[in-house]
Amino acid sequence: MASVGALLSDSQSDYELSVALSEICSTMINWMGASDATNYNDVSYLNALCLYQIYSLGSGKRQLYQNADRSRGLLIGGLRGIGLLNPRSSITLSQDHETIRSSEDDHVLTKDWKNWIKMESGRRASWAAFEYDCSLCTLTSRRGIVDLSELPSQLPCPESMWNATSARAWFALMSRLGQDDSRPNLSKVLKQALAGRELPSSLGSWAKRLCAQVIGRLLWDLWQIEVVAMPEYLGLGSIVAAHQDTKRSLLKGLNNLVESLSSPSSTSDLTSYNIASLLCHYSHLCAANGVLDLILSIVRGLISTEPRVHDGIKVARNRLKLTFARDPKTARRLCWHAAQIVAIANEYLVSAPCEIMRVFMGYIFIIAYSAYGDHTRSSPMEVTQSVRLDLHDQNLSRRRVVVKWIEVGGPASSGSVADIGTDGCVPAISTDAQEILKKLQCWGLAHKFTKVFQVLETKGL
């Protein structure tokens, strides 16, 4: 934590301290695991391992990045070894329905409280590792190694219980909340979110964010199946068609979870809202049947030094133009989702590796839409005023304006660009992106993405 804290400072001496602390962490964490395998049974050690791997992910250093990927197996294996990650079928009923009875004896109640803290700490460590696994999955485009069926059946308890200052306070809070609210069940909450029902008021913001991560993982698994079902692989178009309703349902569930987080009352709540919102809008982009992959193939071609890679750029550009022209409404809807990522980052930027990448993806999509989108208007006489896309649509009138733009098109602005549909906007959008990433320059990953925008500023897309 000290290493990450020093990293976030503007002072050069603090940055140097962060590097030194990082080297100490790397040496000690690896040595502790290698010298005594029982450390992998210690939740505190596994938490330290998880935190250091998150630091490594955002460092921008290839060696540390690769180390994070390799060490993930040790982290997840440790949690499996002590039974914190278990296939759901092996979880007994007694684990799902643990009961704690009141006691007049303070010693007995304190013992129960300490046992509960140990159990809840393990559960929270498992959920933190799952979030890390999701981040690595997003950043590397490789499947996560935590299976959804082995996640804890219960979400983290409400923060009021976790922060209880005594055994009596803890038991009183648990009694008042009741069994369902003090031990929120993952399956029940997910079903409520997918059905569009109101979520329990006692459900913590982190628990809601974790539900969003679970839905995000489900969507990611569907996308991976669809990739191999494409014509250039197995040619199983029926699989892609069969997933459409499921994807729509999952995306609506994500929307519902974000809505339930939209009135944060603390910095912690705001962080969960922002992470879940970025995940939600990014998932809408990823669900668009390969559009984002097509855009990224163009970007990779532009920054590549291999001549043969450049040969496919023209083909990819033509395919992207055709995709946008074939369904301009969907293209505009996706552009709005991308701009909402920017709006979230402008309001409160969460300094974490995965969120940095999602901001990068949002800007890349806006650039692609600006360069290759169909900017003709369905009803030229109707639309005269430019729509600002990178603002939250928190009121009904604002939402109506956005919905109308998605339906009929027209001028739209984002950042310093008055109309992203005019020619020559790519350099200005790239500059806006670099300005946001400057706020995250402490992370090496942000610096790498900034270099990509510098290439786009010069070469275009």
Distances from the Cα of 245 to the Cα of 195, 213, 214, 231, 260, angstroms: 14, 20, 18, 21, 23
Task: Enter the tokens of residue 307.
Answer: 């001549």
In the chain, domain spans: 1-88+116-148, 153-287, 293-461
Q: Which residues contact 415 (CB under 8 A, 6 or more apart)?
A: 342, 390, 428, 429, 432
Q: What is the DSSP string of 363-398?
A: HHHHHHHHHHS----SSTTT--SPEE-SS---SHHH
Q: What is the pLDDT of residues 375-415, one digit of tens each?
A: 876 665 555 678 999 988 777 778 888 999 999 989 999 99
In which band, very low, low, confident or very high, does the pLDDT at 369 lie, cut at 50, 70 and 90?
Answer: very high
Q: Kindly list the distances between the CA atom of residue 110 and the CA atoms of 95, 122, 181, in Å, as whole numbers in the listed order.
A: 20, 18, 22
Neighbours of 34 (CB within 10 A): 9
Q: How many CB atoms lie within 10 A of CB 122?
A: 18
* 187, pLDDT greater than 90: yes
What's the CA gap between 318 and 328, in Å, rounded? Answer: 15
CB contact at 8 A, 403 and 329: no
Spatial separation of the C-alpha atoms in residues 253 and 418, rounded to whole Å:
33
Q: Specify which of 69-73, 134-138, 154-158, 287-291 reaches the highest per-range mean pLDDT.
A: 154-158
Query: Which residue's entry shows tokens 């800007």?
Result: 363
338 SS3 class:
helix
- Residue 91 is predicted with a pLDDT of 47
pLDDT digits (tens, 9 = 90+) for 342-367: 999 999 888 888 889 999 999 999 99
d(Cα 121, Cα 289) in Å, to the nearest integer? 39
> Please, what is the end-to-end C-alpha distance for the chain in angstroms?
39
- Half-sphere exposure at residue 222, Cβ-oriented, CA atoms within 13 angstroms: 24
Mean pLDDT for 194-221 is 94
Q: Are strands 387-388 and 412-413 parallel, antiparallel or unpaired?
A: parallel
Rounded to 5 degrees, φ, ψ at 144 are -70, 155
Cβ(137)–Cβ(153) under 8 Å?
A: no
- Say how far apart CA 270 and CA 283 lie, in whole Å: 20
Alpha carbon separation from 67 to 52, 136, 267, 283 (Å, rounded): 10, 12, 31, 27
What was the pLDDT predicted at 419? Answer: 92
Taking only Cα atoms into account, the Rg of the chain, rounded to an integer number of angstroms, comes to 24
Confidence check: pLDDT of 98 > 60: no
* Spatial distance between the Cα atoms of 131 and 325, rounded to a whole number of angstroms: 37
User: In Å, how far are 22, 84, 339, 408 from 414, measured between CA atoms?
Assistant: 38, 45, 7, 18
Q: How confident is the model over 431-458, as pLDDT tens digits?
A: 999 999 988 877 888 888 999 999 998 8
Helix (H, G, I), strand (E, B) or coil at 258: helix
Most confident region among 57-71, 122-136, 223-237 by mean pLDDT: 122-136
Grade residue 93 by pLDDT with cuts at 50, 70 and 90.
very low
Q: Which residues on adjacent β-strands are paired with residue 414?
A: 417
Residue 154 three-state SS: strand
User: For residue 100, what pLDDT is reported?
Assistant: 63
Q: Express each pLDDT in 277-310 by its tens digit.
A: 999 999 999 988 789 989 998 998 888 777 665 6
pLDDT of 208 above 70: yes
98 against 120, higher pLDDT = 120
Bridge partners of 185? 154
Distance CA 423, CA 256 (A): 37
Helix (H) or strand (E) holding 279: helix 267-286
Residue 123 and residue 206 in contact, taking contact as beta carbons nearer than 8 Å: no
**Distance, CA of 294 to CA of 63 (rounded, Å):** 28
Phi-psi region of 413 (alpha: psi -120 to 50; beta: other; left: phi over 0): beta
Mean pLDDT for the stretch of residues 126-149: 90
Q: Provide the whole-model pTM.
A: 0.89
The whole-chain average pLDDT of the chain stands at: 87
